[in-house]
Structure 1
């Protein structure tokens, strides 16, 4: 053992003894169990709040937190291996979040097999740090990155939300994590040349470029790889896509003109839309039929919207009929044609018909932000996701942004055009929230999926869900509201008010 190593060992032993002495004086906290994404999602609102409260209480209960953090960091810097069991226990069970974080980084700094194995176990953790530290270990292990990480993209690993999260974050290591001005800045743990060095990563990212979850990080990795490497591979992928699109669909039945329209008019509404939704690529005959069905559907949606808006306003909901239903935009046909030219495909009939027939539905009480609601109207409904679908002219900003961002990219890297159709439920309540609800174009089907919205419904089914909830899509979160302070009396007032809203509902 060298002199420096001996001194580090003595220092490490002293620091570890001091840390153990400090921890022995801490309150007897309940161990914090690490959860997977699925386990965290299965917590009741009360359990999730209790878990959060316990962490906050733990942080506030310790007076020597900074001293303990310094000791943990010192053990990592000294790479003192006898400290690994203590640090592992803190990482896995300590409810004091800053200590948990420092323990993870100290384990990585020590870097022996035991420490790395502890961190690797966090790959399916519901918290980002657990997945991040596991991936730092996996990408820096001996052997190739593909051998260590590639298994995360196997079908069996992608069969759960935890698997998707781990795979998405693994792809995130292949692109820059931050920018200085417009210039990418690569962090030490990121891998800017991996796609150029290993064809397996290049093929993976090309295969995933349009994936609903992994597409964005896959495209980001491709964007920052040498175009001399990605260009030929993307050209080949584009040619293969065109070849597939030109093949006839063998699993689509022959359609008799007017058949679906007649069935829809006779009341077979949901079955007709289910059959339309099963056709991934509408040919001319199917598109013509879908457009007629969509026009009939959105006329019924318009009548429902008028009936519901009038009923809500009559009970005091703070919107006006003029703002809630201003009607179709006069330039909608020009916008639809322009959108088809931009994306190379007609807008899905359900969405195009909505913009033509209804235009906009806006039940969001924006004029009441910061003001008291009318007497008797439950203010909690402001965060119950009131229905909003914006018209195409208002949504055009998302088209402009997509064109600006994708103008210099290879066509296969532009990604889907994410057309915003509504704010998320928190922004609707004037609270900072998440991504807006959107549809992705091009979409060769009849009824696009509403993205970044928790129900995972097609556009037509999303409207059905909204009207079934009398204009509110977040009514299934009442337990969460109660966990955060809504009393049973207030909840009874809310449900009673909703029950008092009566309107003529027309099935569609």
Structure 2
């Protein structure tokens, strides 16, 4: 992608008056000059001069012969936005219905690949407004403004995708600007289905707690993770297991913090483990009222029993790192989980954004639980790590973190790495200039960190 962009920029610099050439191509499109189609196809497929490439694509669409449209349609999995946009534009304006022409983009097979998800997102993008003017939202093409209202298949698709991890935001955007007289009943019906409680697996009270206390820690959490929707019995059991688990997490955190501080890691025990927030119970109750579901037991127990873990050496951002302590570990993702009160700004942002939306369009509350690994190192980075609520199971996924782990497994990984989550990315550090000797020193330093680890 970077190489392609560099070639495009270089080509623009060497082509004299490329904007004039692009305008001549646009004229061919407005005239619908069919003999130019082969030449335009060549420019669309091979010309590195971006203004010329863009003009050729739009001219091909305007001319609209079968050959021109076929070439544009084939770019649906193009690595660039323009190719995908032109492909879905062709699909939505082909003869027949939009669903018949573009519905295949949302097949299970299509959504199973990154390229398929990107193409599907591009298609959803046409169903919602692409711009806003003083007169209100505007669609492009304009005839797609009421497609969701006219064809229930698109309505059902967007309602079904409203909670999808990758496409949910785009689907909710489409529904938010569609006719509420049409979307309202569909969303009400979907909400009614959501509140139904599926039958849980057979469980005798006390089984999981007894197994956990007998040492089957991971097996118990595997069984809890297999239940997508906790009924009352499963939730009661999960809450007891979670309390036992987070008590062990708290003791591990105390031991690990003491060991790190003793070896010079630049945090204090007070910073690293300030304890649960005073208002945690009030916040948990309010969050349950807002989302319509209790906070998942693993997360609620952490906030109640541990509260916060913060091993990020923010005090060194504008100062020297302690001698003998490997500074490279700042980008090894030191463990941080903030308490619910500190992360409450996420809830307030969600409330503000969803105030006038149907409840089913508000989307999940994305509660920040930690900065990403680059921000922890005082480097501009990406999205923070978060959990999405409501979550009907026991142990929510930690989002936007490279390992894709449930919360309890995320904590396990952190403690296994002596408080650092990205020790498996050391090749990146070497590529950025860390020597093998420095890497050996880092590894040796970590090996000196010893504490009484409790499995959980």
Match of 1:349 among 297, 315, 328: 297
Residue aligning to 2:32: none
Match of 2:265 among 275, 297, 317: 317
The Cα offsets for residues 72-125 of structure 1, whole Å up to 9 and x where unpaired, read as 55334433324234314425xx5xxxx256414422322344443333333223
Q: 1:56 to 1:319 in 2, by over 3 A?
A: farther
Structure 1 residue 174, shift from structure 2 partner: 1.6
Match of 1:159 among 92, 112, 116: 112
Q: 1:110 to 1:57 in 2, by over 3 A?
A: closer
Residue aligning to 1:256: 204
| 8 A contact 1:76–1:107 mirrored in 2 | no
**Is 1:467 matched up with 2:420?**
no
| 8 A contact 2:44–2:53 mirrored in 1 | yes
| 8 A contact 1:84–1:114 mirrored in 2 | no
The alignment partner of 1:386 has SS state of coil
The Cα offsets for residues 40-70 of structure 1, whole Å up to 9 and x where unpaired, read as xxxxxxxxxxx74685478458851464565
**Is 1:86 matched up with 2:55?**
no
Could you tell me how far apart the structure 1 residues matched to 2:24 and 2:430 are?
44
Q: 1:70 to 1:348 in 2, by over 3 A?
A: same
**Is 1:64 matched up with 2:14?**
yes
Residue aligning to 2:194: 241
Residue aligning to 1:207: 160
Structure 1 residue 384, shift from structure 2 partner: 2.2
Residue aligning to 2:53: 103
Could you tell me how far apart the structure 2 residues matched to 1:479 and 1:196 are?
52
Structure 1 residue 335, shift from structure 2 partner: 1.3
Q: Let me know the Cα RMSD of the aligned residues.
A: 2.6
**Is 1:266 matched up with 2:221?**
no
Structure 1 residue 266, shift from structure 2 partner: 1.5
Could you tell me how far apart the structure 2 residues matched to 1:114 and 1:262 are?
69
Could you tell me how far apart the structure 2 residues matched to 1:130 and 1:356 are?
50
Residue aligning to 1:425: 373
Q: 1:67 to 1:379 in 2, by over 3 A?
A: farther
**Is 1:297 matched up with 2:245?**
yes
The alignment partner of 2:73 has SS state of helix
Structure 1 residue 131, shift from structure 2 partner: 2.5
Could you tell me how far apart the structure 1 residues matched to 2:323 and 2:141 are?
56
Could you tell me how far apart the structure 1 residues matched to 2:89 and 2:183 are?
25
Could you tell me how far apart the structure 1 residues matched to 2:59 and 2:78 are?
20
Match of 2:173 among 215, 220, 240: 220
TM-score by length of 1: 0.81
**Is 1:442 matched up with 2:390?**
yes
Structure 1 residue 355, shift from structure 2 partner: 0.3
The alignment partner of 1:230 has SS state of helix
Q: How many residues align?
A: 446
The alignment partner of 1:467 has SS state of helix
| 8 A contact 2:250–2:305 mirrored in 1 | yes
Shifted more, 426-435 versus 292-301: the winner is 426-435
Q: 1:271 to 1:195 in 2, by over 3 A?
A: same
Residue aligning to 1:132: 85
**Is 1:168 matched up with 2:110?**
no
The Cα offsets for residues 260-319 of structure 1, whole Å up to 9 and x where unpaired, read as 112111211000001111122222222221111111111111111122222222333222
Could you tell me how far apart the structure 2 residues matched to 1:184 and 1:342 are?
30
The Cα offsets for residues 115-173 of structure 1, whole Å up to 9 and x where unpaired, read as 43333333223443443332233223333221221110111212212212211221122
Instruction: Name structure 1 gaps, 5 residues minimum.
Output: 1-50
Could you tell me how far apart the structure 2 residues matched to 1:429 and 1:192 are?
45
Could you tell me how far apart the structure 2 residues matched to 1:286 and 1:408 are?
35
